[in-house]
Amino acid sequence: MNDLQEIWVYLSGLPLFSLVLTLLAYEIGLRLHLWSGRQPLVNPVAIAILIVLAVLVVAEMPYEVYFEGAQFIHFLLGTATVALAVPIAQGWPLLKGRIPVLLLAMLAGGTVSIASASILGLLLGLPDALLLPLVAKSVTAPIAMGIVDGTGISPTLTAIYAVLTGILGAISVRYLLDAIGMRNWADRGFALGIAAHGIGTSRAFSVHPDAGAFASIAMGLHGIAGAILIPPLLPWLRGLLV
């Protein structure tokens, strides 16, 4: 037993352990998602997060030690965000005749996302450290972290909010859009890309190619708009909320 414990302590301290743990957790989540028939409630990202969290708690592994090994995946977030240019370029022909309406929908969705989250935070009486990261969580995590970097707002907490938004959106959007009678796959995908970022876009691709195409376009355009519009508005929003 002592030998096994020593081996576990040694392995858990290796950077490769964190990388393997992250990939394995997601693979388990993905297989469960496929096994369930792609049910939105069986979200692979949510499952992976719970698995990693359970292992870190049981192993008593500090986050800093885990991140040392998982930072390669974190690095890929930036490249994945830049790669959003690809689906935007590929889907550009699909936007003919729809650009004004879709841009208006994107701006409305982004505004409502910031306003609703901020108002809810104020109603709940959240302290400033927990309230301000909600402002940038409406765009995908890497861009959101870049927006608040150097502003005194926690990039880590902003990323957590963004990921939670993506997970909740991917889980609930099917039921919400069904309830309001939105049937068009392009419209559903665009709404999901704005509201639920990369996780929602992944969900959109799993149900219909048109939904995935419009979700990726929406996420990319929303990220660009957020990176341009939110920083100059941030001081005003901070003064309004604090």
* Model confidence pLDDT, tens digit, residues 94-139: 777 788 888 898 888 888 888 888 888 888 888 888 888 888 887 8
Q: Check residue 65 and give its pLDDT.
A: 79
Residue pointed to by tokens 């990176």:
227
**Section 144-170 average pLDDT:** 85
Range of the domain at 107: 83-242
Q: What is the pLDDT of residue 7?
A: 47
Quote the pLDDT of residue 27.
92
Residue 207 has pLDDT above 80, yes or no: yes
Q: What pLDDT is recorded for position 102?
A: 86
C-beta neighbour count of 238 within 10 angstroms: 16
Mean pLDDT of 209-213: 83
| 214 alpha-carbon distance from chain centroid | 17
Q: Copy the structure tokens of residue 96.
A: 């003919």
Question: Which of 76, 94, 128 is the last residue in one of the domains?
Answer: 76
Together in a domain, 66 and 100? no
Place of tokens 């608040």: 148
Last residue of a domain, one of 30, 45, 76: 76
Q: Do 59 and 87 belong together in one domain?
A: no
Q: Which long-range contacts (CB under 8 A, 24 or more apart) does 77-82 make?
A: 77/141, 77/142, 78/142, 80/142, 80/198, 81/140, 81/142, 81/143, 81/223
8 shares a domain with 111: no
- Give the pLDDT mean for 174-179: 88
How far is 213 from 5, CA to CA, in rounded Å?
Answer: 48
| Judgement on whether residues 41 and 127 belong to the same structural domain of the protein | no
Say yes or no: 19 and 134 in one domain: no
Both 45 and 107 in a single domain?
no
Q: What pTM was estimated for this model as a whole?
A: 0.78
Q: Is the pLDDT confidence value at 155 over 60?
A: yes
**Token digits for 92?**
């550009």
Instruction: Please tell me whether residues 50 and 107 are part of one structural domain.
Output: no
57 and 159: one domain?
Answer: no
Say if residue 208 is in the same domain as residue 92: yes
117 and 206 assigned to the same domain? yes
Question: What was the pLDDT predicted at 12?
Answer: 53
Query: Does residue 203 carry a pLDDT above 50?
Result: yes
If one counts the domains in the chain, the total is 2
Q: What pLDDT sits at residue 229?
A: 87
Q: Which amino acid is at 242?
A: V
CA distance 230 to 209: 31
Predicted pLDDT of residue 51: 92
Cβ distance 223 to 84 under 8 Å? yes
Reported as a pLDDT band with limits 50, 70 and 90, residue 18 is: confident
Q: How far apart are CA 241 and CA 70, in angstroms?
A: 34
CA distance 212 to 106: 16
- Confidence check: pLDDT of 28 > 90: yes
The single-letter DSSP state of residue 62 is -
Tokens linked to 225 = 């708009």
The pLDDT confidence band at residue 4, using thresholds 50, 70 and 90, is very low
27 & 100 share domain: no
Q: What is the pLDDT of residue 3?
A: 46
Mean predicted confidence (pLDDT) in 211-228: 86
- Picking from 76, 105, 126, the residue at the C-terminal end of a domain is 76
From residue 73, alpha-carbon distances to 12, 18, 122 in Å are 18, 10, 34
Per-residue pLDDT band for 2 (boundaries 50, 70, 90) equals very low
Distance, CA of 109 to CA of 99 (rounded, Å) = 15
In this structure, are 137 and 189 located in the same domain? yes
DSSP SS3 for 242: coil
